[in-house]
Structure 1
Amino acid sequence: MISVVHVGPDVYSFGGTQTVIRVIRDHKMGADEIRVLSTWDGRHHAKNFVLTARAGAALARVPRTTIVHFHISDGGAWLREGTLIRLAKARGLRIVATLQGADVAREVLQHRRFIGATLRRADHLIVFSDEARASVGQLAPGVPSTISVNPAPIDWDAPAAGRTPPVALFAGTIGLRKGVDTLAAAWQLLLDEGIEGECRVVGPIDDYTPPPLERFSVEPAVHPDAIPGLIRTARVVVLPSRAEAMPLIVTEALAGARPVVATPVSGTPGIVPDPKMLVPVDDPPALAAAIARYLRDPELAERDGLKGQAHIAATRSPEVIGAELRRIYESLGVGTN
């Protein structure tokens, strides 16, 4: 029997890493027993310190046949999870680390000594791009690594995109890294062309507040369980990011039979089934043209959405990624009897 403890942000806080952990837990992916320990729940340093301390206390008590799977995003996650990785290694536990950060290569270069010492304590690393794999390979050459993808449940009951009103949806942190400024500029171009429909921007505001535009709404984040329903309200989902690891909203949109318009950063090109869904970074005219194509042609949106859904079902469903995780866990040689 394989028992895995997943360590990372609280599954109901806001973010893609949180959603991935929740999907793994809810679908019992890769293991017979799954437990989740939280180390982060928003920008509350004292609370996160307490969560991390509690996670450390729990890891100090788990059986030595337990596999500990860490999910590391950006910045402070390296300090929180890095400390716990050292504890798990000292106990002789097997360690898997998934690097979920938007720019793993940059982080590795900036903090080579600490990150390298952390990665070398792992037994297996999971990354989302060749670039990330090359970066971690320089710091931890003896640690096996796998290029993988994030799982997404398939929304087989989603209504067809062609029957949805002409709505373009952005769902995520509202900021410059996600390219919301580019989206606002693109929407202004579409308004100048007389586009029908609306653009919804849903999420917490970070370092950019969009200007007031006609039929361009800025809305607060929704509960993670409400994301599939939110996607159903849109004809196309948009993510014009400047940096990503493996953007979950793109996978979730395709799993919900919605076409996407995104930028070709990091692992994103491997998610979409058609390169026509990709536009250059920082290119409002190209972004506007791609959005308009789906808002003006519901039949195209429906065809591309269904094509994307079939692609995700074949490559990123919980069943497919669960089997991959199982192989990784079994390769560690513990808890398999």
Structure 2
Amino acid sequence: MRIVHCFRSPVGGIFRHVRDLAQAQVTAGHAVGIVCDSTTGGDFEEHLFAQMKEMLALGVSRTPMQRHVGPGDIASAWRTYRIIKELKPDILHGHGAKGGVYARMFGSLLRVSRSRVARLYSPHGGSLHYDEGTLTGKLFFGLERLMERFSDHLLFVSDYERRTFIRKIGPPNVANSLVYNGLTAPEFDPVVAEADAADLLYIGMMRDLKGPDLFIAALPEVEKRLGREVGAVMVGDGEDLPRYKAEVSRLGFASRVKFLDPMPARRAFALGRLIVVPSRAEAMPYIVLEALAAGLPMVATAVGGIPEIFGQNSPALVYPDAGELAEKMAEALADPASYRMLMPTPAELQARFGAGVMAAAIEKAYFAALGRS
């Protein structure tokens, strides 16, 4: 098959998901290509693209795609359509809200011109994060329902995501599957913390949706509970990074909180003894799976698909609130050995979240969608 993955921002979990899928699909003998935004990502992402380009028969095509809906979308859409048309895909797989619209809209246009292309969509949270009580939310959910008419298959990365779709948009009217994100075998090798590792580690996008502000706000309370200073490392980039740095300075933690640019997750894992995932919203975050597979203890918020990883009643999960985070972080640091016993084992994770399982299930959905196109 000729498979094209379309998404906006080449950062975070969506990019990781596409990289894993592309690798597995190339190994299976398919020709794969990527179409995404050219204005997001940095040196780290450029390095990842450089690694991928040689294996992708359909290449990496990058063009400006703005995050929010606006007049610039017309020019962006036209450029993206021309790129996709040139690639002649059998499978057009859209990821996230923008990628989902483009894949299904352009796949439908190609079918009008007698091309046989299957249109698949993975929300990855995306527009599902909006509040259904707001005008913006209603607009996006109405668009999702409309775009469903141009879809052959919906792929959800967590049961939470599928249930959210049903609650906010309605039961899917097209074929759909639940396929968890998957990890490769080497990711289950343990990572040992460096001798001078910080107490706490945050890895992720620097935006409020992912909770870096909650992580920072919890630090004074953690120190108060432990009766000592704590050190933290925050790895990532994003639009709110300057604000977080300013808040760390305001709290008097500038000497104890180190900000670092994006880097491979397993390299970052060695920089901290306890990883904290303080997100306000998630679908099925790779960082949680990766850290647990590497043997790291974790404090995480009970949002999105995270409870599906830990178990619904896991004592390691808290509400996305600075006070609750601080209490659990202090508990974990006070007795690391006991806290580590609360984590799911790598063997349990491997049985449910293997990359091979993920790729095989998605390929099955591709063939089914082609049969209906």
TM-score (norm: length of structure 2): 0.74
Q: Distance in 2 between matches of 1:258 and 1:315?
A: 18
Instruction: Give the secondary structure class of the aligned counterpart of 2:310.
Output: coil
8 Å CA contact retained: 1:259, 1:277 = no
Whether contact under 8 Å (2:274, 2:299) holds in the other structure is yes
- What is the identity percentage for the equivalent residue pairs of Structure 1 and Structure 2? 22
| Equivalent residue in structure 1 for 2:145, among 88, 111, 116 | 116
Corresponding letter in the other structure for 1:275: S
Deviations along 1:169-213, one digit per CA (max 9) or x if unpaired, are 111122322222221221111122324542212212434423224
Matches within 5 A, 1:145-156: 145-154=176-185, 155-156=187-188
Contact 1:29 1:323 in 2 (8 A): no
Which residues in structure 2 correspond to 1:246-261 (within 5 Å)? 246-261=284-299
When residues 153 and 192 of structure 1 are mapped into structure 2, their CA distance, relative to the original with a 3 A threshold, is same
Distance in 1 separating the partners of 2:345 and 2:104: 36
Q: CA RMSD in A?
A: 3.3
In structure 2, the residue corresponding to 1:6 is in which secondary structure? strand
Partners of 2:64 and 2:370 in 1: CA distance: 35
Contact 2:117–2:370 (CA under 8 A) maintained in structure 1 = no
TM-score (normalised: structure 1): 0.81
Could you tell me how far apart the structure 2 residues matched to 1:242 and 1:296 are? Answer: 25
**Structure 2: where are the runs of 5+ without partners?**
42-61, 66-72, 131-135
Distance (Å, rounded) in 2 between the aligned partners of 1:169 and 1:122: 40
| Structure 1 stretch displaced more, 82-91 or 310-319 | 82-91
Partner of 1:200: 233
Residue 261 of structure 2 is matched in structure 1 by 221
Q: Using the alignment, how far apart are the partners of 2:360 and 2:284 within structure 1?
A: 19
Count of residue pairs brought into register by the alignment: 324
Range that drifts further, 173-182 or 325-334 = 325-334
The 1:150–1:89 alpha-carbon spacing in structure 2 relative to 1, beyond 3 Å, is farther
Verify: 1:243 aligned to 2:281, yes or no.
yes
Which of these residues, 293, 300, 309, is aligned with residue 262 of structure 1?
Answer: 300
- The question of whether the paired residues in 1 share the 8 Å contact of 2:283 and 2:305 is answered with yes
Q: Which residue of 1 aligns with 2:216?
A: 184
Tell which has more relative contact order, 1 or 2 (C-alpha 8 A, sep 6+).
1
Unaligned runs of 5+ in 1: none
- Cα distance in 2 for partners of 1:172, 1:250 equals 11
- Structure 2 letter corresponding to 1:280: Y
- Deviations along 1:288-317, one digit per CA (max 9) or x if unpaired, are 122223323332355445x34233211112
Deviations 1:52-104 (A, max 9, x none): 6565334324557x12211124xx55554454344344334111110013551
Which string of whole-angstrom CA distances, capped at 9 and with x for unpartnered residues, describes residues 24-74 of structure 1? 12233895314122221335997337886565334324557x12211124x
State how far apart, in whole Å, the 1-side matches of 2:268 and 2:17 are: 18
Counterpart position of 1:99? 123
TM superposition shift of 1:261 = 1.3
